[in-house]
Chain A
């Protein structure tokens, strides 16, 4: 059973999230509505995964994000899934900067699709990543001039996008209607073309891809 903390200031959304998670077999250990409460909850309860809104009282700025980053500084790898009304590459970078995984960053709209959302929560709880497709498409757009990326085939590019969002080979094969072995072939191709060291571990692989995309953009 996964213990979850929910931080969201709008009552309706908080309540909806709690119901949704409970319906999928999570145990909601706390539902908080402000930044200080969130930080306290994260550090004291150490939930298996937390779902955090970026903008929280009292300042209504990026209180939730700051509390999450602070908690992860103190407890490395504490799994947190950040929800926001808008996604920014800047925030995604900050969340991924420590390279320890267990991080998600999704638009609030993704909650509409309950299965995918719960899947993302589970992934983050297991130490994986869940990045919003919008962040990934922005990242890839920012890397438009990158030579190795341009060398990818359209199929490999699709697989790369799915992988960057945080999916495992099995999940990718389901979504793209490919056999798992051909996905494995594509990922191997991607890793060779980008010059990355292949890894069997799904999470580490995703982090390597994200790190590649980030580092290359600022070059």
Chain B
């Protein structure tokens, strides 16, 4: 036992020393990059050799990217790349030309170059990277003794330093978020348009055509009514049949647009109704105290519908379990089947379709499908349930809540009795010292002590007010980040 622990310990130490060695090796690369950066900056901005700039920036980013990975591996501090998203390739105008500012180009090369140039120069992360590159060698050299003597601690300190300049800033995170939102919106718009087109086609080719035929049949019957009542009657019977068929057809279209049970009963019963209609044993568990918004219900319903259809078609499943529940403000749907497994979102267009549909709500689909089964698909739609039953209150961690309570319950004491009231007593001059601490002190200390107490009390109040709002702001930012979902329970 002791021996194995020592081995593990030595192994960890060796790995840490390995990291330190890599760090030192990176130092050489940094110095080289720094030198070339100096040269490049002079050539670019002094002599106008702008074409040198992008490769140089890419070179710096390679070094910083390597450092980020190293820090994540060695100290477990994850530093997200802070760069703004790369500009999309230029799109030709209607006349086939490419526009950049006020100039039109025949090829996309120069507009693309311009976009890239602007992207690199205006990104603050580029200059923060450069600053890091300039300062990192001396920092590394200073930390070297610590890194050699206490590699674990040294690596953590180094990670903190790197985080200072290499981490994502609020604005870059926002830019990334904006990009994702744009993409999701485009998906949603495309999906919507495709749906409209499909419905239009269904109505046009199906219902409308059938109604035209129906009208013609009735017209023929009308003409025959006097001359050949028997034939007219036969035609009317045919028309009746046709109208029944049209209704069946229309029902199918409606079901594809928005299933009537979903409108009437909500997600839970709609999924139950769905479960009854497919030839598998399906058990449905629903734990939702209120109905989510209609679009959310529809997205979840069609996702479940697709997953069930997949299980029945490809999965070789016999029984399926559907579990719908609220997880705080998030809606969570789990579909588990006992089929063969091996489902892959990258292969099936159906699963990709679900992902696109969910993307409009920032929803995610996670599939855990080992060969041989069972397959578990999880859908999570974040922040789609009404807030009043989301239980957001317990968000503040316990120690912060305790500090908050302490601040609110005690800050009156320094501010009023020991501060303001003591000051009033001192100024107006009653001899009674009562329980004002300040008045027991030697004369020259009394006013400073009173001032200190007032300051302390005010500071405590301010802290009590600021603490939750700062926490909320951080939290809000964190919550708007997309989350990953796993099927493990």
Query: Which residue numbers of A lie inside 8 Å of B, CB to CB?
Result: 54-55, 61-62, 85-86, 88-90, 93, 107-109, 112-113, 138, 141-142, 144-145, 217-219
Contact = CB atoms under 8 A, between A and B. Distances in A.
Given A109-B244, A109-B247, A112-B240, A90 B261 contact: yes
Contacts of A141: 279
B251 A89 contact: no
Given A86-B254, A86-B255, A112-B244, A145 B279 contact: yes
Given A61-B263, A61-B264, A90 B273 contact: yes
Given A85-B251, A145-B279, A219-B281, A90 B269 contact: yes
Contacts, number: 51
18 contacts: A62-B265, A85-B247, A85-B251, A86-B254, A88-B261, A89-B277, A107-B247, A109-B244, A109-B247, A109-B248, A113-B240, A138-B276, A138-B277, A141-B279, A142-B276, A217-B276, A218-B281, A219-B281
A108 B273 CA distance: 19
Contacts of B11: none
Interface in B167-198: none
A109 B243 CA distance: 9
A145 B317 CA distance: 13
Given A61-B264, A107-B247, 4 more contacts: A62-B264, A89-B276, A112-B243, A144-B279
A86 B257 CA distance: 14
A90 B272 contact: yes
A87 to B, nearest CB: 9
A90 to B, nearest CB: 4
A219 B265 CA distance: 24
A117 to B, nearest CB: 13
What class of interface size applies to chain B in its complex with A?
Answer: 20 to 34
The 9 closest A-B pairs by CB, nearest first: A89-B276, A90-B273, A62-B264, A61-B264, A86-B260, A88-B273, A109-B244, A109-B247, A144-B279
A90 B264 CA distance: 12
Nearest to A92: B276
Contacts of B247: 85, 107-109
Nearest to B245: A109
Tell which of A62, A86, A138, A217 has the most Cβ of chain B within 10 Å. Answer: A86
A217 B247 CA distance: 28
A89 B264 contact: no
Given A61-B264, A85-B260, A112-B244, A90 B276 contact: yes
Contacts of A85: 247, 251, 254, 260
A158 B260 CA distance: 30
Contacts of A62: 264-265
Contact of A142 (B254, B265, B279): B279
A61 B265 contact: yes
A136 B145 CA distance: 82
A131 B279 CA distance: 20
Nearest to A144: B279
B17 to A, nearest CB: 64
Interface string B270-314: 001100110101000000000000000000000000000000000
A173 to B, nearest CB: 24
A135 B255 CA distance: 16
Contacts of A145: 279
Contacts of A108: 247
Nearest to A219: B281
Contacts of B264: 54-55, 61-62
Contacts of B279: 141-142, 144-145
Contacts of A142: 276-277, 279
Contacts of B260: 55, 85-86, 88
A63 B248 CA distance: 23
Contacts of B243: 112
Nearest to A86: B260
Tell which of B240, B248, B279 has the most Cβ of chain A within 10 Å. Answer: B279
Interface string B227-262: 000000000000010011001100100110000110
